[in-house]
Structure 1
Amino acid sequence: MKSSLLLALGSAALTLTALGVTAQAQLMRGHDSNAPVNFSADRIEVQDRADRVLVSGNVHVTQADLTLDSTRMTVAYRNAGGIQIDRIDAAGNVRIVRQGDTARGDVAIYDLNAKIITLLGNVELMQQGNRLTGGRLTMDLNTGRSTVDGRAAAGAGGTTTSSGGRVSGTFTVPQRESK
């Protein structure tokens, strides 16, 4: 009994290490960040002189098999012989979904040049029944590596959000036959 409990705790610790603070999450592995970005919303305002687009109300963005939903969004671009999106800042009930995996947060920053998506404030990552929560989630589209930490983060309007400085999670355990 004692050895099986230690084995289970060891297995959980390995899972926590693999999926916890430095999560080798598959959410973004293989995502095509060069695919066209399509969006729809209740309102779109183009600010040509500032090289940005303000999008608000039921914002829905797709890029390849990734979707990003939020209340509002700012798209920064440059016009270099054609429109090139550099960065997307989303705020308000941000949700990113890819292949059934979901990440949520208060604010998201998608740097298309660096190929990094960062979610800030009340972050939650759900993958195949596993759940992680924290203050910040960073998803590197180059490596497919995601990192969750509990640090407080600056949110929209300069507000500060925090998850108590800790990462917490729930991991599913495969059902094993009793011996």
Structure 2
Amino acid sequence: MKTFLLAFGATAAAIVALAPAMSQTSALKGHNSNAPVDVAADRIEVQDRADRAIFSGNVVVKQAELTLNAPRLTVAYSNAGGIEIDRIDASGGVTVRSPSETATGQYAIYDIDSRLITLIGGVSLIRGDSRVNGGRLVINLRDGTAVIDGGAPAGVSQHSGRVTGTFTVPQRND
């Protein structure tokens, strides 16, 4: 089986960008996006003429300390002297986890060339007891920024059309 490389290292930056209450150092800082990726699924279908592989049934992708779970994963690749992944699409309810953060959505798209991870449809980003919800989360792996929007594309069920959040605060002695 070929080794697939993924990079989900900006979830920590999403936490920092979203709320000061969540801005502690993340376990993803310094994540090794060059680490090998292990993929497990109930089924794989390789469509060489279309340059894609489809993993289905309890898909689990692991890279270093990151884990992605989804019912279905499609890997688009180019085959010019070796397999090079261009894009990864996950669907059916996606969860991306690090030791300290969890991001969920109905769909996830990782565009390798632009180094963007996009989760859409009922998005939630959780760290500890703090949570931010919205319709779309875009994580930019180049500059470490992340943006949560309230809306989702047409045809994708939405949260409420607004970004909402619940944040823990330090307990103070009066």
TM-score range for the pair, normalised by the shorter chain length: 0.7 to 0.9
Shift in CA distance, 37/113, structure 1 to aligned 2, threshold 3 Å: farther
The one-letter amino acid paired with 2:143 is T
Structure 1 residue 27 displacement after superposition: 7.4
8 Å contact from structure 1 (residues 39, 61) kept in 2: yes
Structure 1 residue 28 displacement after superposition: 5.3
> Quick check: which has more Rg, 1 or 2?
1
Q: How many correspondences in the alignment?
A: 157
Shift in CA distance, 28/116, structure 1 to aligned 2, threshold 3 Å: farther
Residues 133-159 of structure 1: CA distance to partner in whole angstroms, max 9, x if unpaired? 0000011122222211101225xxxx3
8 Å contact from structure 2 (residues 17, 146) kept in 1: no
8 Å contact from structure 2 (residues 60, 68) kept in 1: yes
What is the rounded CA distance, in whole Å, between the counterparts of 1:19 and 1:27 in structure 2?
Answer: 17
Identify the match of residue 163 of structure 2 among 158, 163, 167. 167
Structure 1 residue 113 displacement after superposition: 2.0
2:39 aligned with 1:43:
no
Runs of 4+ in structure 1 off by over 6 angstroms are none
What is the rounded CA distance, in whole Å, between the counterparts of 2:29 and 2:139 in structure 1?
Answer: 9
Residues 70-95 of structure 1: CA distance to partner in whole angstroms, max 9, x if unpaired? 01011001112211111110001200
8 Å contact from structure 1 (residues 33, 112) kept in 2: no
Output the TM-score relative to the length of structure 1. Answer: 0.79
Residues 15-49 of structure 1: CA distance to partner in whole angstroms, max 9, x if unpaired? xx9525xx979575433333333211000000001
SS at match of 2:49: helix
Aligned to 2:30: 30
**Unmatched segments (≥5 aa) in structure 2:** 1-15
RMSD: 2.3
8 Å contact from structure 1 (residues 24, 145) kept in 2: no
Structure 1 residue 116 displacement after superposition: 1.2
Q: Where do 1:59-138 residues align within 5 Å?
A: 59-138=59-138
Structure 1 residue 62 displacement after superposition: 1.5
Q: More helix by proportion, 1 or 2?
A: 1
Shift in CA distance, 58/148, structure 1 to aligned 2, threshold 3 Å: same
Is 108-117 or 50-59 further displaced after alignment? 108-117
**Unmatched segments (≥5 aa) in structure 1:** 1-16
2:173 aligned with 1:177:
yes
Residue identity (%): 54
Aligned to 2:54: 54
The one-letter amino acid paired with 2:18 is L
